[in-house]
A and B are shown apart, each in its own frame.
Chain A
Amino acid sequence: MRITKWLPPAFLLAVLLLVLGEMGARLFFAKSVSGRFEYGYSLNAGFDECPDGTVKLIRAGGRRFHPQSFKKHRPPGTFRVFVIGDSVPRGPSFKGGYPWLLGQELRERDIQAESVNMALPGYGAQRCQVVLRKALEFEPSLIILHVNDSNKYEDEREYRRSQEFKSWHPRNWPMKVFIFRRLYEAKMEKVFWRLVPEQVRLKFAVNDPDAQVAASENASEVRDRIKVARETTAASVALAQAHHVPLLLVTQCRLLTDGTRSFHFEDHGLDDLGRSLTGQGVYHLSMKEVFSPLPHARSYFSDSGHLKRSGHLLLAQAIIGKIRQAHQHLGLTAFNIELQSKSY
Chain B
Amino acid sequence: MSFITWQYLLFLPLVLVLYWQLPGRGRLVLLLVASYFFYACWDVRFLALVLATTIIDYLCALSIDGKKTGTVWVLLLALLPGVWLSGCSLFLPASGINWLIVAAAVAMGLAFFTGHELIWRLAPEKRRRAYLILSICFCLSILGFFKYFGFFLDSAHNLLTFMGLQPNRVLLQIILPVGISFYTFQSLGYVIDVYRGQSPACASLLTFATYDAFFPQMVSGPIERGRHLIPQLERTQVFSPDYLQDGICLILVGFFKKVFVADNCAILANYAFAPGTPLNGYWAVLGVMAFAFQIYGDFSGYTDIARGSAKLLGIDLAENFRFPYFSRNPSEFWGRWHISLSTWFRDYLYIPLGGNRGAKWETIRNLGVTMLLAGLWHGANWVFVLWGAYHGVLLILYRVAPALRFLGDEKSSSLGRGILAVALMWILTLAGWAIFRSANVHQLGLWLAALGHWQAGISLPWASSALWLLIHIAPLLLLQILTWKYRDETSLGHLPWPARGLIYTLMLLLIVSSTEHDTEFIYFQF
- Tell me the complex Cα distance, A93–B509, Å: 34
* B398 touches A (CB below 8 Å): no
* B6 neighbours in A (Cβ, 8 Å): 169-171, 173
Segment at the interface with B among A140-148, A194-202, A252-260 = A194-202
Tell which of A13, A170, A188 touches B10, judged by Cβ atoms closer than 8 Å: A170
* Closest partner residue, chain B, to A8 (CB atom): B245
Known: A194-B464, A204-B270. A6 touches B241 (CB 8 A): yes
Q: Mark A169-184, 1 if CB is under 8 A from B, else 0.
A: 1110111010110011
Residues of chain B with a CB closer than 8 A to A191's CB? 468, 471
Which residues of B sit under 8 angstroms from A214, Cβ to Cβ? Answer: none
What's the least CB distance linking B3 to chain A, in Å? 14
Which of the four size classes fits the interface of chain A? 35 or more
- Write out the residue numbers on chain A whose beta carbons fall within 8 Å of the beta carbon of B516: 184, 188
Task: Find residues 209-226 in chain B having any chain A CB closer than 8 Å to their own CB.
Answer: none
Docked complex: B474-526 residues within 8 A CB-CB of A: 497-498, 500-502, 504-505, 508-509, 512-517
Is the C-beta of A211 less than 8 angstroms from some C-beta in chain B?
no
A-B contact count (CB 8 A): 100
Q: Does B268 contact A (CB under 8 A)?
A: yes
Chain B, residues 250-287, CB within 8 Å of chain A (1/0): the string is 00000000000000001110110010010000000000
Chain B residues with CB under 8 Å of A6's CB are 241, 244
Q: Does B232 contact A (CB under 8 A)?
A: no
- Contact between A183 and B270, CB atoms less than 8 A apart: no
1/0 contact string of A2-29 vs chain B (CB within 8 Å): 0001101111111001100100000000
B515 and A11 contacting across the interface, CB-CB below 8 Å: no
Residues in B48-107 with C-beta less than 8 Å from chain A: none
Do the beta carbons of A174 and B501 come within 8 Å of each other? no
What is the chain A residue whose CB lies nearest that of B498?
A13
A203 and B508 in contact, given A10-B500, A174-B515 (Cβ under 8 angstroms): no
Q: How far is the CA of A177 from the CA of B513 in the complex (A)?
A: 12
Taking CB atoms, residues of chain B closer than 8 Å to A194 are 464
Cβ contacts under 8 Å, B415 to chain A: none
Say whether B508 contacts A18, CB under 8 Å.
yes
Residue A187 CB within 8 A of the other chain: yes
* Contacting residues, chain B, for A204 (C-beta < 8 A): 266-267, 270-271, 517
Report whether B465 and A183 are in contact in the complex, using a CB–CB cutoff of 8 Å: no
A196 interface neighbour in B248, B465, B512, Cβ under 8 Å:
B465
Interface flag for B460 (CB, 8 Å):
yes
CB of A21 to closest CB in B, whole Å: 8
**B505 x A5 contact (CB < 8 A):** no
A213 at the binding interface (Cβ < 8 Å):
no
Residues of A within 8 A of B270 (CB): 203-204
A195 touches B508 (CB 8 A): no
Instruction: Pick from A170, A179, A184: contact of B515, CB below 8 A.
Output: A184
Q: Is the CB of A199 within 8 A of B9?
A: no
CB-based nearest A residue for B466? A195
Chain B, interface residues (CB within 8 Å), range: 35 or more
Majority secondary structure, B binding face: helix
How far does the alpha carbon of A203 sit from the alpha carbon of B467 in the complex, in Å?
19
A179: chain B residues at CB < 8 Å are: 509
B464 neighbours in A (Cβ, 8 Å) = 194-197
**In the complex, chain A residues whose CB is within 8 Å of the CB of B354:** none
Q: Of all chain A residues, which has the CB nearest B267?
A: A204
**Residues from 152 to 181 in A contacting B, C-beta threshold 8 Å:** 169-171, 173-175, 177, 179-180
User: Is the CB–CB distance between A183 and B512 below 8 Å?
Assistant: yes
Q: Which residues of A contact B505 (CB under 8 A)?
A: 13-14, 17-18
Q: Which residue from chain B places its CB closest to the CB of A199 in the assembled complex? A: B460
B115 within 8 A of A: no
In the assembled complex, B358 has its CB within 8 A of some CB on chain A: no
Is A9 within 8 A of B501, CB to CB? yes
Task: With A184-B515, A196-B464, A200-B465 as known contacts, state yes or no: A17 contacts B501, CB within 8 Å.
Answer: yes
For the complex, give the distance between the alpha carbons of A11 and B244 in Å: 11
User: Is there an interface contact between B267 and A200, defined as CB atoms closer than 8 Å?
Assistant: yes
Q: A195-B467, A201-B267 are in contact. Are A10 and B460 (CB under 8 A)?
A: no
A164 to chain B, nearest CB (A): 12
Interface: B461 (CB within 8 A): yes
Q: Is the CB of B502 within 8 A of A17?
A: yes
Given the known interface contacts A197-B461, A200-B460, the answer about A183 and B504 at a Cβ–Cβ threshold of 8 Å is no
CA distance A21 to B501 in the complex (A): 14
Of the candidates A11, A180, A187, the one whose C-beta lies within 8 Å of that of B504 is A11
Bitwise, A244-277 to B at CB < 8 A (1) or not (0) is 0000000000000000000000000000000000
Taking CB atoms, residues of chain B closer than 8 Å to A184 are 512-516
Q: Is the CB of B498 within 8 A of A11?
A: no
In the complex the two chains form, is A13's CB within 8 Å of B460's CB?
Answer: no
Known: A8-B245, A174-B515, A200-B460. A14 touches B468 (CB 8 A): no
Give the CA-CA distance A177 to B505 in the complex, in Å. 14
Known: A10-B504, A14-B505, A205-B517. A196 touches B468 (CB 8 A): yes
Residues B445-473 near A (CB distance < 8 A): 460-461, 464-465, 467-468, 471
CB closest residue in chain A, given B463 = A195
CB proximity of B172 to chain A, nearest CB, Å: 28
In the complex, the answer to whether A13 meets B267 with C-beta atoms within 8 Å is no
For the complex formed, measure the closest distance between the CB of A251 and the CB atoms of chain B, giving whole angstroms.
35
Provide the residues of chain A in CB contact with B461, threshold 8 Å: 197
Please give, as numbers and ranges, the residues of chain A lying within 8 Å of B497 by CB-CB distance.
8-10, 13
- CA A171 to CA B509, docked complex, whole Å: 16
Apart from A12-B501, A196-B268, what are 18 other A-B pairs with CB-CB below 8 Å? A9-B497, A10-B501, A11-B245, A11-B248, A13-B497, A13-B501, A14-B502, A14-B505, A17-B502, A17-B505, A173-B6, A174-B515, A175-B515, A184-B514, A191-B471, A197-B460, A199-B460, A200-B460
Give 20 A-B contacts (CB < 8 Å), ordered by A residue.
Answer: A5-B241, A9-B497, A9-B501, A10-B498, A11-B245, A11-B501, A14-B502, A18-B505, A183-B513, A184-B516, A191-B471, A195-B465, A196-B267, A197-B460, A199-B271, A200-B267, A200-B271, A203-B271, A204-B267, A204-B271
A-B pairs with the 9 shortest C-beta distances? A13-B501, A10-B500, A14-B504, A10-B501, A195-B468, A170-B6, A187-B513, A180-B512, A9-B497
